[in-house]
Amino acid sequence: MQDYEKELLADFDSDSDVSLEEEPLVENSTENEAKSGENSTNNHEKTFFTQLSELIASNTVAGSLSAILSEPDISSIEDITVFSKVYPLIPQLKKHIELYSNEETTDFLELLSSIDDSEDQSEEYKFILLVNELSGIINQEIIAYHQLLKTQYKVVFPELETLVLNPIDYARIIAIIKQDLKNIRSYDEQMKAIVSNEKILVIIMAALQQLGQQFVLNDKDMNSIIDCCVILLELYEILQLLSNFITQKLTKFAPNVSAIVGSITTSQLLIATGSLKSLAMTPSCNLASLGIRDLSSKTKSKSRTVRQTGYLYHSEVVKYLPEDIVRSTMRIVSGKVILAARVDLAGSCPDGSIGHTYLEEIRKKIDKLLTPPEHQPDKALPAPVDVKSKKRGGRRFRKMKERFQMSDLRRAQNKMEFGKEEDSVTDSFGEEIGLGMSRTNGGSGRIGEIRVNTNTGARMSKGMVHRLQKHEQSAKIQRIDKGIFDQDFDSILLVNPSSKKSSENKLNGSSSSTIGSKWFTGMSKRKNEDDGGNDKKRQQNSVL
Amino acid sequence: MGSVFLPHLRTGWHVDQAILSEDDRLVIVRFGREEEKDCMIIDEVLFQISEKIKNFAVIYLCNIDRVPDFNTMYELDNPGEPFTIMFFYRNKHMMCDFGTGNNNKLNFMISDKQELIDIIETIYRGAKKGKGLVISPTDYSTVRKLR
């Protein structure tokens, strides 16, 4: 409760600056009126407007609620009306509302001025803005009087405040039953108009139980309670009047916007942005953040998932939705509100039908968002039938396998003839390798019988063949260019014919020698050198 | 809950017809008493997988008190046996080696749905190949406590 009050106060604090700025403008407009010649009403008018703006301004400073609550001795005060700042203004307010609501339509110029600039807003528009501020104060005062009423009436019937939570109904019931708990049954019919039958039953039961410990107030005290009730109800009445007035006026100013979000939110948005024009120019993404009470503190926001708890969050369309779709709904609504504001600005749809169609669209979208996801039944598993895997490749794959398969000759070699000695050869490593039936071919006796696989040989790709051919051709051309000597390098090497002979002899001979062999030429060379060196030494020795 | 949604076989004739009628699917019959706890649990598991396996198996329930015809033939209603699940394919009883010693039936609790699906798939595969006995994908010799 206390938190809420503080928030309210804070809210008025933030808005008061706007109203203060507007104050001189109001005076301006009234002065204009004065020029037109209505001197007698002018004074009255001026005082009323200034009173109103002062009231709004002062409210932020004092805070009527806290003033009442901090009052040291409530019972000592004779006239309770002093607490209310709005109460003395009520008759004037009523007069103004009548005055403005009687005007059939704003004339074209007025409409233009309201569109053109926030500086030249019409007087009526000003009044609407002020009245909107006022409704907050009245709400606050109702709460304050309710609090006062509760503290005073507690001695008579303490349970009533918990049974009837609504301050208006509470005041009405007190006005009906006063402190006549004994005959409470007789007020049955009257109470039926206010609360439900079950509630009445509960109230009667509680009242009869209370009867024993009831403290009977004297007439004076009771009268003050009744007065309090009357003030509260009157305040409520003027609030209703004001809200009706605002609704009526706003349907004129912004019929499409108010069709979507309702008159209260519309007025809040208009006040926050300043005018219909600036509302229409506001990007829709900014709309949700209008009217957030405290941007800095995180603790104050009531919702966990939604950060933007502004005017739109508290509007009728969004208020009752579950948290998880609020964000997306606000996005949808703010887009449509801005569109509607533009339509209103153009004045192309004064009956608000576009707003209603927008609202219908929004409702449909909300319905869609609210529908639970469809339950998908379990997908049946496929029957676990083992299908033979398809083999890859056809002719090409077969050829590839043929190339690597065992040849017929090798297969024959692996077989052995029964009861016969196998032919065998010794390979280069000195191992004996059996030839099996490869020679005999199952008794037919000739090797030619077994056909040799032709497709197991090494192959070249077409590209490779092509490349080799090219290479050969180019080599031929080079050879022709270089002449005869390059063709055969060996033919022009000067070789000692005798040594060649000897090496041939040695190769042919049984004794293996390193001379002339391809590999071990280095050794022989060194030997020769050594021999040469020795000769030289010998020569040196002989010289010495 | 599962026992409410799965089809019940009310008489012995119904049991026979259920086993005979399926041409291409495994017929799984749960014999037992719905009111007993373990039976309720397995009914729930069977119900949960029934939609998944409908392409290759169908599940029926049979109360052994109302249909006592098979109690002696299939050795049902043994003490300590919470329920008995039996598998049939084209009027042939399918056996499965769970490692418990009794290949004729599944008479121990399996609370994992996928495990049960695996067993049913294995039996179906074997049945398709004309086998009468298959080996369960998991061994339950250690799972079941001997009484």
Is A384's CB within 8 Å of B51's CB? no
Residue B11 lies in a domain: yes
Q: How many CB pairs under 8 A join A and B?
A: 28
Contact A75, A220 (CB under 8 A): no
**Do residues A206 and A318 both lie within one domain?**
no
Residue A402 lies in a domain: no
**Do residues A278 and A229 both lie within one domain?**
no
Residue A31 lies in a domain: no
**Do residues A224 and A275 both lie within one domain?**
no
**Do residues A235 and A280 both lie within one domain?**
no
Q: Best interface-test mutation with B: which of A378, A386, A388 has the largest number of B CBs within 10 A?
A: A378
**Do residues A155 and A218 both lie within one domain?**
yes
Contact A231, A208 (CB under 8 A): no
- CB of A383 less than 8 A from some CB of B: yes
CA nearest A227: which of A282, A235, B24, A364?
A: A235
**Do residues A182 and A282 both lie within one domain?**
no
Backbone angles phi, psi at B96, to 5 degrees: -140, 130
Q: In what order do the strands lie in the sheet with B26-32?
A: B57-63, B26-32, B83-89, B92-97, B133-135
Domain boundary among A348, A370, A392: A370
Cα separation, B147 vs A318, in Å, equals 64
Is A386's CB within 8 Å of B128's CB? yes
pLDDT single digits (tens) B60-119: 999 999 999 999 999 998 888 889 999 999 999 999 999 988 899 998 999 899 999 999
Cα separation, A442 vs A417, in Å, equals 7
Q: Best interface-test mutation with A: which of B25, B45, B52, B114 has the largest number of A CBs within 10 A?
A: B52
Is A381's CB within 8 Å of B124's CB? no
Q: Please return the burial class of A423, using the count of CB atoms within 10 Å of its CB with bins 0-12, 13-18 and 19+.
A: middle
**Do residues A100 and A152 both lie within one domain?**
yes
- Tally of domains in chain A: 2
Contacts of B54 in chain A (CB under 8 A): 380
Residue A443 lies in a domain: no
Q: What is the pLDDT of residue A37?
A: 39
- CA–CA min distance A351, chain B (Å): 56
DSSP A81: G
Q: Which of A380, A385, A386 sits opposite B52 (nearest CB)?
A: A380
Per-residue pLDDT of chain A (544 residues; tens, 9 = 90+): 445 555 544 544 444 433 333 333 333 333 333 333 334 444 455 566 666 666 666 655 444 455 555 554 555 555 566 666 667 777 777 777 776 666 544 444 344 445 444 444 566 667 766 776 777 778 778 888 888 888 888 888 888 888 888 888 888 888 888 777 778 888 888 888 888 888 888 888 888 888 877 777 788 888 888 888 888 888 888 888 877 777 777 777 788 888 898 888 888 888 778 778 888 888 999 888 887 765 554 545 556 677 777 888 888 888 889 888 998 999 999 999 999 999 988 888 888 899 999 999 999 999 999 998 888 888 899 998 877 777 677 888 888 888 888 888 888 888 888 888 888 888 888 888 888 887 765 555 555 567 777 777 777 889 999 999 999 999 988 877 665 555 555 555 666 666 555 555 554 544 444 444 555 555 555 555 555 555 555 555 544 5
Helices (H), A320-433: 323-346, 353-370, 395-404, 408-414
- Cα four-point dihedral sign B132, B138, B144, B146: positive
Tell me the percentage of chain B whose pLDDT exceeds 70: 97
Q: What is the pLDDT of residue A27?
A: 38
Contact B30, B42 (CB under 8 A): yes
CB atoms within 10 A of CB A167: 22
CB atoms within 10 A of CB A127: 24
Domain boundary among A370, A398, A419: A370
Residue B71 lies in a domain: yes
Residue A110 lies in a domain: yes
Q: Which of A377, A383, A386 sits opposite B55 (nearest CB)?
A: A383
Cα separation, B89 vs B96, in Å, equals 13
Is A380's CB within 8 Å of B117's CB? no
CATH number at residue B63: 3.40.30.10
Cα within 13 Å of Cα(A27), Cβ side: 11
Buried b (16+ CB within 10 A) or exposed e, B59-72: bbbbbbeebeebee
Contact A366, A321 (CB under 8 A): yes
Q: Rounded to the nearest 10 degrees, what angle do helices A167-177 and A219-253 cross at?
A: 140
- Tally of domains in chain B: 1
Q: Best interface-test mutation with A: which of B25, B48, B128, B134 has the largest number of A CBs within 10 A?
A: B128
Residue B147 lies in a domain: no
Secondary structure (DSSP) of A289-331: TTT-S-SS-STT-S-SS----STTTTSHHHHTS-HHHHHHHHH
Residue A249 lies in a domain: no
Q: Please return the burial class of A335, using the count of CB atoms within 10 Å of its CB with bins 0-12, 13-18 and 19+.
A: middle
Cα separation, A326 vs A370, in Å, equals 11
Nearest CA in chain B to A381: B52
Alpha carbon distances (Å) from A230 to A188, A395, A531: 21, 105, 145
- Tokens 């191992």 — which residue? A431
Residues 362-381 of A with CB under 8 A from B: 377-381
Contacts of A384 in chain B (CB under 8 A): 56, 121, 124-125
**Do residues A165 and A287 both lie within one domain?**
no
**Do residues A136 and A183 both lie within one domain?**
yes
**Do residues A70 and A159 both lie within one domain?**
yes
Contact A146, A94 (CB under 8 A): no
CB atoms within 10 A of CB A349: 17
Q: Please return the burial class of A275, using the count of CB atoms within 10 Å of its CB with bins 0-12, 13-18 and 19+.
A: buried
Contacts of A382 in chain B (CB under 8 A): 55
Nearest CA in chain A to B25: A383
Q: Which of A381, A385, A386 sits opposite B53 (nearest CB)?
A: A381
Instruction: Show the domain range for A90.
Output: 49-241
Residue B10 lies in a domain: yes
**Do residues A338 and A189 both lie within one domain?**
no
Secondary structure (DSSP) of A441-476: TTTT--GGGSPPPSTTS----HHHHHHHHHHHHHHH
CA nearest B3: which of B28, B39, B27, B38?
A: B39
The residues, any chain, with a CB within 8 Å of residue A133's CB and separated by 6 or more, are A15, A19, A56, A271
Alpha carbon distances (Å) from B23 to B20, B50, B90, B91, B123: 8, 18, 6, 9, 15
Q: For A114-171, give the secondary structure using H, E and C.
A: HHHCCCCCCHHHHHHHHHHHHHHHHHHHHHHHHHHHHHHHCCCCCCHHHHCCCHHHHH
Instruction: Show the domain range for B47.
Output: 2-135
Domain boundary among A318, A349, A370: A370
**Do residues A313 and A216 both lie within one domain?**
no
Q: Best interface-test mutation with A: which of B25, B54, B123, B134 has the largest number of A CBs within 10 A?
A: B54
- CB of A386 less than 8 A from some CB of B: yes
Is B52's CB within 8 Å of A381's CB? yes
CATH number at residue A331: 1.10.246.90
Q: Rounded to the nearest 10 degrees, what angle do helices B113-128 and B37-50 cross at?
A: 70
Contacts of B56 in chain A (CB under 8 A): 381, 383-384
Residue B77 lies in a domain: yes
Q: What is the pLDDT of residue A362?
A: 95
Contact B50, B59 (CB under 8 A): yes
Beta partners for residue B27, in sequence order: B58, B88
Residue B73 lies in a domain: yes
